[in-house]
Every structure is written in structure tokens, then in C-alpha cells.
Amino acid sequence: MNHLSKSTSPYLLQHAHNPVDWYPWGEEVLVKAKAEDKPIFLSIGYAACHWCHVMAHESFEDLETAAYMNEHFINVKVDREERPDIDGIYMQAVVAMTGSGGWPMSVFLAPDLKPFYAGTYFPPVRRYNMPAFKDVLSGLANAWVNDRSEVEKVGEQVINHLRHQNKNEKSDLFVREHFDAIAKSMADSYDWGYGGWGSAPKFPQAMALEFLLQHATLNNQAEHHKLITHYLQAMSRGGMYDVIGGGFSRYSTDNFWRVPHFER
């Protein structure tokens, strides 16, 4: 049993018996990483995440992989539903470094918490055009020992990029014309045939609907209310809605909202 056994998070408790010596996020991790001069492997997920469970079974329950992780890294597990602040910070880094994000989120940090390598799911062997997790671990462990200056350089570049990005976002103030243009673009690209935006897989776009609802209410735009109603009816009529237990599945695997993904 590792250091997650006293956690209150269901997700962290799922990993309490992994052979990986997981730590929860906290000051102890920073002190240990600096004292032992080891990089931090930060793994972020949530209890209903399918690929989080796949990677846990393939890698975190594997004795050989866990032993290597314990020897070369300080390993930290975070529940994104418990710590959305940490998830938000490092998701920006993952997107900046790879062009996309998702869970499980896998981020390698220097002891000062600067990220120098990132990804999401890594398979146990090379496939899906992705490197094997063991190869990632060995490559980064070697770089930490033998090419530390390059690791620190990458971490500094990522941090500077994020600072510049966030500074620009804060300085660009939205005015009404911006919101009007966003709402128009969303309405123009809406799928009136089946509901939603884009093709399969189709995710419930809660933030998009909330934005349109607020915009329609403030500007008395009935056409947006019609769009929202159409969207919600399309989801509720298909297989996305659980008629027995209530609630919606995480997304639909087809274009018609009929075949739900099993996460809810």
C-alpha cells in the first residue's frame, strides 16, 4: 500500500494498492524531489476515465514498470475533480507541448515543478504511433542524469510560453461584438439534422449551451433558445440518456446520439 491509502478521493483510492509508490500532491512531494534530486511524474485522471484505468492496469499495476518508476521518479497522483486548479495549470502545459490534451494526463516535472515532457495515455508497448511507457521513462531518466541542462532549458521555455500566453489572454478584453460573432459562428455551424457540432464522437457541449443561453437571454434572441432546445432534445431522445438511473453518458460514439460511451 502506498501513500494514497488515507485519501478521500475515490480515484486516488483506486490506486492505493498499486506497486507504484504514489504520493498525493503536497509539500512532501516537493521536499522529497529536491532532497533526492529526482524528477516528478505527475499523473492526473478521474474515477470514470476509461483510459486512466487502462494505463493503470497495463503499467501502474506492472511490478517491473512500478519498480523503475519508484527508483527514478517521485510519483504523484492527482484527481482532477478534486484539484481542478492543478489540472488546469498542467493541461495548459500538455496542450502547449503536444498540441492536444486529455486524460490520463502524464507530465514530467523538475523538482521546481516546471514541466519538461508531457503526454496523455502511453501504452505498455509501442503502438497507436505512441512510444511505450517504459521507453518514455528510461529516456527521461537518462536525460535527467546525463542532459540536465537541456531538460531545464525545455522547462524554462514551457513556463515562459505559458506566461506569455496568459498575459496576452488577460490583455485581450472582449466586447459585445466579439460575443455576437461567437454566437453567430456557433449558430451557423450547428447541425440541425442531428443536433450538436461536428461529427462522431459527439460530446455534450455544456459550456457552449450555457454561453448561448446567456447570450440569448441578454439579447432576446429566440433562435438561440430554439437551438438549445433542439440540442437537448436530440441528446435526451437518443441512447445518451440513462432512463433508469438518470444522467447522461460522457459522449456518443455515433453521429446520431444513439450509441453511448459507457462512462457517465
Q: What is the pLDDT of residues 73-93, one digit of tens each?
A: 999 999 999 999 999 999 999
pLDDT band at residue 263 under the 50/70/90 scheme: low
pLDDT on residue 216 = 85
pLDDT band at residue 264 under the 50/70/90 scheme: low
pLDDT on residue 188 = 92
- Mean pLDDT value across residues 176-188: 88
- Within 15-99, residue ranges assigned H as helices are 27-36, 50-55, 63-72, 84-98
pTM comes to 0.69
Per-residue pLDDT at 164 exceeds 80 = no
- Mean pLDDT value across residues 54-77: 98
- Mean pLDDT value across residues 229-258: 87
Per-residue pLDDT at 262 exceeds 80 = no
pLDDT on residue 8 = 92
Of 6-20, 82-96, 198-212, the least confident: 198-212
The residue type found at 169 is E
pLDDT band at residue 247 under the 50/70/90 scheme: confident
pLDDT on residue 246 = 82
pLDDT on residue 167 = 66
pLDDT on residue 168 = 59
Per-residue pLDDT at 51 exceeds 80 = yes
Structural domains of the chain ordered from first start: 10-169 (3.40.30.10), 174-264 (no CATH)
- Mean pLDDT value across residues 115-126: 95
- Mean pLDDT value across residues 26-48: 96
Per-residue pLDDT at 170 exceeds 70 = no
DSSP state of 64: H
Q: What is the pLDDT of residues 215-233, one digit of tens each?
A: 888 888 888 889 999 999 9
